[in-house]
Structure 1
Amino acid sequence: MSDEEKRRWKGPTGKEGSSGRQMDQRKIRAHHAKSDSSKQWLERQMSDPYVRKAKLEGFRARAAYKLLEIDAKAELLKRGCRVVDLGCAPGGWLQVAVAKGALEVVGIDLLPVDPIEGAHIVQGDVNEPDDVARMMKGLTDKPNLVLSDMAANTTGHKQTDHLRTVTLVEMAAAFAVEHLATGGSFCSKVFQGGTTKEVLELLKSNFTTVKHIKPPASRASSPEIFVVAKGFKGASRP
């Protein structure tokens, strides 16, 4: 299923099939899916306890629980902190940051994101200085935490997808080093093998601790893990 199809998916509707008989919702969705991969994705979504929990608790995406579980281990979200969320659509991580008591929360994404009370959201490109400047206007001081759940659209070609993901991680890490307040933290999605040698060296030279976390909400079949860097050494930055 394409990323666009996933964004458009609204979940089970409970409608009857064309025969007029009540059918299992999972079978209805799978029947109308365009490919085997689409069917598998839809079935997985409808059987996922985190998806159901997100709907019940008002989070926009199951990814909210990844951040909650990472925070339970790493204690990233401090009450009164300032948070930047790179690649924030559909807004689950923004919701978590606001709910955890962040003083100021800003986010940016190429996709439009519905407003969230307590968050300043910009539709734009993190590579565009003007877009970044618009986002940073939502903060009165340097951020204490930079988050990134960015992921490139997959092509099906493993090496290409890996390189695209690496580029996003490098971009997020560079942003953190440029903007974080001294003592701040950074958390970013990475994939198989963890962070690259170059990114790991960048983080280790600029933070006091760097580790990888695989939260329970991250599916066991998924190659994603998250790198968490704490204790930004602002004074050593050029």
Structure 2
Amino acid sequence: MEILSEVWVRVLPVDAPEVEARSLLLAAAVALAIVVIGPLWRLARLGVTLVHELGHALVGLACGRSFTGLVLRADASGHAVTRGPERGAGRALTTWAGYPAPAIAGAAAIAAATWGWAAPVLTLALVAAAAALVRARSWLTGSVTLAVTAGLGLLWWRGDDAWQAWVLIVAGGVGIVGAWRHLGAVAGSRSPTSDPAVLAWLTRVPAAVWNVSFALACGAATWFAGSRLWALWPGSLL
């Protein structure tokens, strides 16, 4: 019973944290450093790709498709294998979900941190990462997913409320900026297997339109995350 009590405490939300201005500035600086420093970004973008692929998988499951495999590659590309009808709304929604996923997840992480919901969100993220680990189909995929799962587990079990919130703010910022970087890369791609190209094939709507829809979704997530951080800023009237 004691262990169940310990687990339950780590799942419950807490009061919204009081964050100092210097703590927010430090979080922003760390997130920016991760995205702009080459060696750090090469590692972090694998995490962004993982979230991208899990976006495909989760929406696919919601649309009645089955999630059977996950592959990450050294060039930060990836593939989530879902099985179901070759065409139709479910396939289109599953394909669309990848590029906005890191920005949406990042905004959700930042909102959770500002509302005191870091612990429940970390619990859900840990469950999702553990489930993805079972679907890994390469050594790199397994290594990245295991590292993410271990990091989430350590933060969930050992991190205090303030530390969990701070890490979620950093991770959320990396996810949002990473989503924009990935979107910039695909916008200039002519690959027939890219998500926009597949969506164009599925729907007969030009790939450029789908790129705009990705940008709108990422923009909405960015605005929402920014509004939450502004509300958290000491002295804010929001």
Of structures 1 and 2, the larger Rg is shown by 1
Question: Fold-level match, TM-score > 0.5?
Answer: no
User: Which structure would you say has the larger RCO, counting Cα contacts within 8 Å and 6 or more residues apart?
Assistant: 2
Select the structure that is richer in strand: 1
Normalized against structure 2, the TM-score is what? 0.28
